[in-house]
């Protein structure tokens, strides 16, 4: 059954398929400590029912095994001259792409057995990186992301909890060694120590999950990151083994890597939905994306942006107007100093 599931997973486009037990997470204590420090920022869902999140058996009674799957999103992309977007956002929303394949894999399991299954793709209350390391798929790096010796940093995780009893694979051990490139690369010092992430300072949180104003003291450090951040991932030496995934390359989106920021400042709600529905950028909503655009223009823009920023100060969304005013002030300061 194990071999059949792995074979089917690879046929469906998954790049890795590994197995572990449904025992409680190995690093539950570290997770509880992370929450106690407030490092989860405004992501309150991370702190709800923490013991449930660390025990797959509380999600699926009688769970015996966890199937851990990976899909690579590695691709060669040109560096944006304006606003940077996280590499994973250059594809159709992975939640939708992977969900379709997970449903098919669960259906395959049901055809072979009467086992119960419950699948997640970055949506369930599971410590997926902990499970993935225990399944031998990769190891948690000092930047807290999972690193695969076969895929580097560039891959999505998903899981299937099942009542099937499947022999677990050998777990993975850490292979960071003395490397600290990721810690040094973070623009906002969101990695206060190895294996610790303070989401309150993380650019990915600030530009995506954060629904409010970006703290003024962190705006300059955001640089030209308009949606997410890959800095700690990109410098990892294990990326030399990264391979382009067979599945995600079919869902590449042209134009996301190099957005026209001035054009975006003029986009209305209907235009935003038409342009970004079905993409990861839709998660930030118009108010969040244009907030980020204003911050980037404040950091790297020039006088050509002032006219549209002035219009943005009158936007009906106060969040956009506030950040547009800040951007104007930054551009004028640079012009005065030069």
Arithmetic mean of pLDDT over the chain = 95
- Choice among 13-22, 39-48, 73-82, 217-226 with the minimum mean pLDDT: 73-82
> What's the distance, Cα to Cα, between the start and end of the chain in Å?
69
More confident residue, 107 or 259: 107
Candidate list 122, 130, 198, 268, residue with the active-site label: 122
Q: How far is CA 333 from CA 303, 307, 326, 328, 336, in A?
A: 11, 16, 11, 9, 5
Q: What is the mean pLDDT of residues 141-151?
A: 97
d(CA 300, CA 261): 11
Tokens representing 231?
């800095």
pLDDT of res. 238: 97
* pLDDT above 70 coverage of the chain, percent: 99
Active site residue 96: no
> Does 338 have pLDDT greater than 90?
no
pLDDT value for 161: 98
Helix (H, G, I), strand (E, B) or coil at 161: strand
8 A C-beta contact, residue 33 and residue 192: no
Identify the weakest region by mean pLDDT among 9-18, 20-29, 44-53, 202-211.
Answer: 44-53
In this predicted model, what pLDDT tens digit does every residue of 220-251 receive, in sequence order? 999 999 999 999 999 999 999 998 888 999 99
Q: List the domain boundaries for the chain.
A: 1-76+91-194+232-252
Dump pLDDT digits (tens) for 55-100: 999 999 999 999 999 999 998 766 655 789 999 999 999 999 999 9
Q: What is the pLDDT of residues 272-308, one digit of tens each?
A: 999 999 999 999 999 999 999 999 999 999 999 999 9
């Amino acid at each position: 059954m194990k071999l059949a599931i792995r074979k089917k997973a690879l046929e469906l486009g998954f790049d890795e398929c590994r197995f572990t037990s449904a025992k409680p997470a190995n690093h539950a204590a570290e997770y509880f400590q992370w929450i106690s420090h407030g490092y989860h920022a405004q992501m309150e869902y991370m702190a709800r029912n923490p013991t449930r999140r660390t025990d797959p058996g509380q999600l699926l009674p009688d769970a015996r095994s966890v199937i851990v799957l990976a899909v690579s999103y590695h691709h060669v992309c040109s560096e944006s001259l304006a606003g940077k977007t996280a590499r994973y956002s250059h594809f159709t929303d992975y939640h939708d792409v992977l969900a379709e394949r997970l449903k098919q894999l669960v259906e395959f399991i049901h055809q072979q057995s009467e086992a119960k299954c419950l699948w997640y793709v970055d949506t369930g209350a599971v410590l997926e990186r902990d499970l993935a390391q225990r399944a031998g798929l990769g190891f948690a790096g000092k930047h807290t992301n999972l690193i695969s010796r076969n895929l580097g940093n560039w891959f999505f995780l998903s899981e299937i909890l099942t009542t099937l009893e499947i022999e677990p694979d050998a777990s993975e051990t850490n292979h960071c060694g003395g490397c600290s490139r990721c810690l040094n690369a973070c623009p906002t010092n969101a990695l206060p120590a190895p294996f610790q992430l303070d989401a309150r300072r993380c650019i990915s949180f600030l530009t995506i999950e954060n629904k409010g104003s970006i703290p003024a003291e962190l705006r300059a450090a955001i640089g030209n990151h308009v949606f997410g951040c890959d800095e700690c991932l990109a410098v990892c030496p294990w990326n030399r083994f990264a391979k382009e995934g067979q599945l995600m390359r079919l869902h590449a989106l042209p134009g996301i890597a190099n957005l026209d920021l001035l054009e975006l400042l003029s986009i209305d709600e209907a235009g935003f939905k038409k342009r970004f529905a079905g993409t990861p950028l839709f998660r930030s909503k118009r108010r969040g994306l244009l907030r980020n655009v204003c911050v980037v223009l404040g950091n790297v823009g020039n006088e050509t942006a002032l006219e549209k920023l002035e219009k943005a100060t009158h936007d009906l969304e106060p969040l956009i107007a506030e950040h547009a005013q800040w951007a104007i002030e930054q551009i004028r300061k640079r012009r005065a100093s030069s």
